Amino acid sequence: MSSAFAWFIATVVTLPIIGWYLAYIITVKITKKKSYSVRLAADLSLVLFISAVYFISYEIWDQSFLWIILIAFFLVAICFTVVHWKVANDIHFVRLVRGIWRFNFILFFIIYLVLSTYGFVLRLIS
């Protein structure tokens, strides 16, 4: 049983789109709201995309880029906080965290696609 669980976790971390899709399917079956389910699945799968970016970059360059990933995450948070404060003259914490979290999902989803394509092409030509 533990090897099946380990296989499932390894697959979801390696292919976080599967994790996003599973979260989407489960939440749409429960809530019957597709747009809410897309947002909730994105919220739940951000950690999977961050870990996939880490492992893909480690596999491609044989170095840990965790510090760059953390810097990118916190730079987005700082930029969002400053912009939110300038626009609203007040900080609405829940809206701010939700915006930071969802923007980071988009950012790491794009990075995941770019690194996956780069790694695939790199392995084909070498």
Query: Is residue 49 within 8 Å of residue 107, measured between CB atoms?
Result: no
- 91: tokens are 């900080």
Query: Which residues constitute the domain of residue 51?
Result: 2-125
Number of separate domains in the chain: 1
Burial group, residue 93, by CB count within 10 angstroms (0-12, 13-18, 19+):
exposed
**pLDDT given at position 126:** 81
pTM: 0.90
Residue-wise pLDDT tens digits, 60-77: 999 999 999 999 999 999
Reference 27, options 12, 40, 43, 45; nearest CA is 40
For helices 2-14 and 34-61, angle between their N-to-C axes, nearest 10 degrees: 90
DSSP, res 72:
H
Kindly report which listed range (8-22, 42-56, 93-107, 110-124) carries the lowest average pLDDT score.
8-22
